[in-house]
Structure 1
Amino acid sequence: MAAERTNVSNDLVWQITRNQNSYLVRRNTGGGSQFSRDPLNLVNKHSFKYSGFANTKAIGVQATENGGVAVTTKKAANPNKPAQNQVTVTYGPNASTRKIYKGVADKTAQHGYRADLREEAVARVSAVRRSQKAKKETPARKPRGSKAQAEEKAE
């Protein structure tokens, strides 16, 4: 069976859905900011450039439950079958961050696949990896000066 193609352009999909879609988040603070919860939106900004549902080629980076990173790309081949047009590559928690950067950069560079999103995708991987690092425990501060002398006298 031949691959089905749709004649609807990305711009038309955006024009129809930009004011009402399930991913849109509106905030009254900050001058009426609009954000997006789209998993294929790298910067969570409600705009056509970063919209994953309106573009036939999109990329998304999410944290996994075990501490890894999942990179999802959208194929342009099956626009009428959303469940079949996403490819997810999962990097485990022990994968080096540079290896993930290279995988994301290669994914965005291949055959003209949204090279304009490369910088944002690598920044998103960096933010996800940074959030997964364990926090360093800071030791309790020792009293100095007159407070330390007061404690010595109390003992």
Structure 2
Amino acid sequence: MASNVSGQLLWELVKGHNSFVRKNLHGNIFSAEKGNLYAKHSYKYSGIVNSQAVDIREGATGGVDISVKRAKTVSKPASAVHKVTSKKGARRAIAAVRKQVGSYRPDLQSAAVARVSAVHRALRAKAAKK
């Protein structure tokens, strides 16, 4: 988003009206936006309004894509996200993400590790049943 607008103001503007909000029957409100590792609809975990956000998804070639939003280039959306694909094994990818996210946003470290392990578990080939 624009660098001359604070993230808190942006959150107040978009928190009730964005296309990523998912409400369920039990009153829980979730979010499907990129950069929201916990999938909770809150300012702290939002990838849209925070200048520092982390996103972990399945890569196109079978690895794990780790995207980090750069705080310096928030006003330039095309160059604001730095994306790295990890094709290492699960343990090495988890260690790399733990180190990178731990220094970038320590509050998201456990969620990032859980997301990497879930993506690796989903990428694993299942044995055929006889």
Structure-1-length-normalised TM-score = 0.76
| 2:3 is aligned with 1:13 | no
Give the SS at the match of 1:30. coil
What fraction of aligned residue pairs are identical, expressed as a percent?
37
Native 8 Å contact 1:63 1:70 kept in 2: yes
* Shift in Å, 1:138: 4.5
2:100 aligned to which of 84, 107, 112: 107
**Count of paired positions:** 129
Alignment deviations for residues 104-154 of structure 1 (CA, whole Å, 9 cap, x no partner): 1122233xx211000000000011111111223445xxxxxxxxxxxxxxx
TM-superposed deviation, 1:75: 0.5
Q: Which runs of 5+ in 1 are unaligned?
A: 140-155
Structure 1 position 20, deviation (Å): 0.8
Partner letter of residue 38 of structure 1?
A: E
In structure 2, which of residues 10, 29, 32 is the aligned counterpart of residue 37 of structure 1?
32
Aligned mates of 1:47, 1:137 — CA distance in 2: 41
Instruction: Provide the aligned C-alpha RMSD in A.
Output: 1.6
Deviation at 1:52, TM superposition (A): 0.4
The one-letter amino acid of 1:96's match is G
1:68-96 CA-partner distances (Å, limit 9, x unpaired):
1000000010121111110000012xx11
Larger Rg: 1
